[in-house]
Structure 1
Amino acid sequence: MVLLGLLLLPILLLLLYFIVRPRPVNIRIKDRHVFITGGSMGIGLAIAEQAASEGARISLLARSLDQLEKAKQSIHQAYGVEVSIFSADVRDYDAVECAINKAGPIDVLVVNHGVYYMEELEKQGLDAVKLMIDVNLMGSFNVIKAALPSMKDRKDKGPASIALMSSQAGQGGIYGFAAYSATKFGLRGLAEALQQEVLAYNIHVSVIFPPFTETPGVERERKRMPEITKIITGGGGGGVKAEEVAKTTIQGIKSGSFSIPFGVDGRAVAIATAGLSPQRSFFMASIEVVFGGAFRFAALLLEWYTYGIIEKNKISTKEQ
């Protein structure tokens, strides 16, 4: 069986190369219009700064006009690029559509906004669940739907991008993240289906899967994080910096990558959960085909370890 597998492997890779043919994409950022939701602070602002440093024209959408003004001034002073700002709630389709129409045709749309609350579902209020669904999921539908007409009709027919900010909690469920994970998993389903709908217009969809990132929101949620979540995630400490997320995000967008993970562990999870996702790198496609089973085994080991932590903690809690 091993010998047969070794004989079939070159044939499989040849079929992958000549028939499946993952095609690389080069999406230009310089002198193009990059529109970012949730762009006034945190990861969104860092992405705006990274795109501005590469010569993009920037548009930012967020709720706080004061924060938007600060972001506009800091980007313009640092990079000298044009920055437009729009105050709107992503839950309000009409307001979002109005902002996008004023901004003009978009070349790179980064759907970055989001809210999250870490708590067991039994304890979490349905108002918090609904807020996450409305902002993270419906808000993303609102932004994309409003932007699609002008993106399809843009004069610059070069490759364009729609990038959705998910999370590692959108690749695998995590204790205390039930509602949040549901919204972030939903973004991946949206992205996979949307890619098929917009491919003919040379629009390439990406999903970004950052780990814990050092932002004001994360600091707030660490205080209410369930004890089991702290154990599983190491307390949520040692998060990556927003600038690191921004740099990797822009690199992934420029290469047209569907999945944009972070670090060795993030890439491992991306391979283990590749499923039906598009792949434009022959090298990564080969890794997924050849080592997919091994990474799935590693994922099962991680799940076994996680369940052990939960069971042990629950037993000790009952004994107290």
Structure 2
Amino acid sequence: MKTAWVTGGSSGIGLELTKYLLQDNYQVCIFAHAGIEQAVANLQKHSSSICGFEVDVQNESILDTQFAKAVAAFGVPDLLINSAGIGIAKSFEDMTSEEFLRQININLVGSRNVAHAALPYLKQATQQGKSPKLVLIASAAGLVGCYGYTGYCSSKFGVVGLAEVLRMELRSQKIKVAVVCPPEIETPMVVDERKNGSPITAALKQLGGSLPLEKACKDIYNGIMSNQFMIIPSTQARILANVSRLLPNVYRSQIDKKLDKIMQKLAS
């Protein structure tokens, strides 16, 4: 039986991906800073091959301790998905340095900490004849900038860069790496954000589209099980990313026009 570890596994994308893994007969260890007991209890109604551990991805020593417990429970992982993350939708001017750093520390440094703490176990997996895979959940906001997301975009651009380097460095060690860059997904974090978010941010985000959680996670899961490095679970978001990369001046010109229209509408 294969084993998967999922950080941020008590809610949102991490929880939904855990359900797919259990359906595919994986043993799954989920890790999160809160909600672990309830999530495990709910998942155990469908499968007994689940356990959970409380972690803070900002603290590598805690990750070391809990990953060791996970190995004792189910063995080394065939698959590690780092889905832990936060988003704070505020303009650069309104965002405090503490809020900015919190996103960097959880989204980017947290991704580094998870990968680093898990690396010895991923290497053990290769020694056991497995083909382990490390998956970092980034965002379409790690490929193109979005108004009102200074901290979030900065952190997710960093996650994409981290994944690019890990893909190269871990290749010789037979450890696969993938990065997921979804557009907006209907998660509790997004629903909460809309209560106080900027209408400019909301309008611009629709350029990449919005996906229901189940649809997005089905596409993400299929991507993870493929040989893709960059997984973008939306045709609309893939087009946006490709245009920004291949025709950056055209892309920015269109964004500026869209911004001007939104500003004029809000001012009227």
Match 2:117 to one of 129, 146, 157: 146
AA partner of residue 19 (structure 2): E
Q: 1:54-111 CA deviation, whole Å, 9 max, x = no partner?
A: 01000000011xx212221222222x24111101111111111111111111210101
Which consecutive unaligned segments of at least 5 residues does structure 1 have? 1-30, 275-295
Aligned match of 1:207:
179
1:170 aligns with 2:142: yes
Whether 1:306 and 2:255 are equivalent positions in the alignment is yes
SS of 1:158's equivalent in the other structure is: coil
Is the Cα contact below 8 Å between 2:244 and 2:251 reproduced in 1?
no
Q: Distance in 2 between matches of 1:256 and 1:158?
A: 15
**What is the CA–CA distance in structure 2 between the aligned matches of 1:203 and 1:273, rounded to whole Å?**
30
1:40 aligns with 2:7: no
- Give the total of aligned pairs: 263
Report the equivalent of 2:38: 70
How far apart are 1:314 and its partner, in Å? 4.7
SS in 2 for 1:153: helix
Output the CA distance in 2 between the equivalents of 1:212 and 1:45: 17
Partner residue, 2:31: 61
Aligned partner of 1:219 in structure 2 is 191
Name the SS for the 2:238 alignment partner: helix
CA distance change for structure 1 residues 212 and 109 in 2, over 3 Å: closer, same or farther?
same
Give the match for residue 239 of structure 1: 210
Matches within 5 A, 1:242-261: 242-261=213-232
- Could you say which residue in structure 1 is the equivalent of 2:168? 196
> Between Structure 1 and Structure 2, whose CA radius of gyration is higher?
1
Instruction: Kindly state the Cα deviation for residue 223 of structure 1 after the two structures are TM-superposed.
Output: 2.0
Contact 2:140–2:241 (8 Å) recurs in 1: no
Cα pair distance change 1:49/1:316, threshold 3 Å: closer
What is the CA distance between 1:311 and its match in structure 2? Answer: 3.2
TM-score calculated relative to the size of structure 2: 0.90
Instruction: Tell me whether 1:179 sits opposite 2:151 in the alignment.
Output: yes
Partner secondary structure for residue 170 of structure 2 = helix
Question: Is 1:222–1:235's contact at 8 Å kept on the other side of the alignment?
Answer: no
Code of the residue aligned with 2:59 in structure 1: it is: D
Alpha-carbon separation, structure 2, partners of 1:120 and 1:158: 45
Sequence identity, in percent?
Answer: 29
Could you say what secondary structure the match of 1:191 adopts? helix
Structure 2 gaps, min length 5: none
Give the CA deviation at 1:33: 1.0
Aligned runs of 1:279-290 on 2, under 5 Å?
none
Kept after mapping to 2: 8 A contact 1:58/1:82: yes
TM norm structure 1: 0.76
AA aligned opposite 2:22: A
The match for 1:87 is: 54
Instruction: Point out the more displaced range, 176-185 or 226-235.
Output: 226-235
